Amino acid sequence: MKVTTRKTEEDIRREFFGPLKEAVRKENNVGIDPTKCWCELSEMRLMQLIVQFKPSGINRYFNLAAIIDHMSNIHDYEIPQCEMYLTEKNQKKFRQQQRELSSSVSSTDVKKRCSYPPKYLCRPNLEEIQKKIDEFYDIKTVDKNEGLPDKMDIHREFSLSDGGSEFSCSPKEERSSSVASNASKRRRIQTPED
């Protein structure tokens, strides 16, 4: 004899994931702070952001700042697959916001931009993100292999003009020849003995 029961998606989620949600809400007796622990979902989000914002090269720290922001917020302009990081309530809002953004004809029709908190509890800072990235990648090697943009590898010296209000950047070779001519223009400082 076969017995079947009908359950809604919400009932199934409550049955399977309810105990996990309760465990997260209860006081943590083992001394582990859930806001500092990386879960699979937060690691997956970090990997997605590493692909989007490569944390190496000349823009490394700008990209790390973007990763920190995107780890704490899911923005409405992100790809639709990012809804998996949101709670069910926020998933509906996210979908609705994206529909409205895609249906707006001009930028004046767009309503206020939104961001949503992710459902994972981990909100890492710069040091925690760098530590996690170092677990996965050898960033020093990646930085060595990262090329510089054109004309960024030319070393230039910085010098102030005699007036002090203007500055000039000149190639190192030109700078060395001008230093000799400026040395003859130096003023002698008078001392009380003179």
Q: What residue segments make up the domains of the chain, in order of their start?
A: 33-145, 148-182
Alpha carbon separation from 112 to 23, 58, 115, 140, 179 (Å, rounded): 36, 32, 10, 40, 56
The whole-angstrom separation of Cα 176 and Cα 174 is: 6
**Structure-model confidence comparison of residues 22 and 134, the more confident one:** 134
Q: What is the reported pLDDT for 105?
A: 63
159-169: average pLDDT: 59
CA angle 77, 80, 82 (to 5 degrees): 90
Rounded mean pLDDT, 131-148: 86
User: Could you tell me the two tokens for 63?
Assistant: 């990209």
Confidence of residue 12 (pLDDT cuts 50, 70, 90): confident
pLDDT above 70 (res 60): yes
pTM across the whole model:
0.60
Query: What does the pLDDT read at residue 106?
Result: 59
Residue 113, pLDDT above cutoff 50: yes
Give the per-residue pLDDT at 180. 46
Q: What is the total residue count of the chain?
A: 194
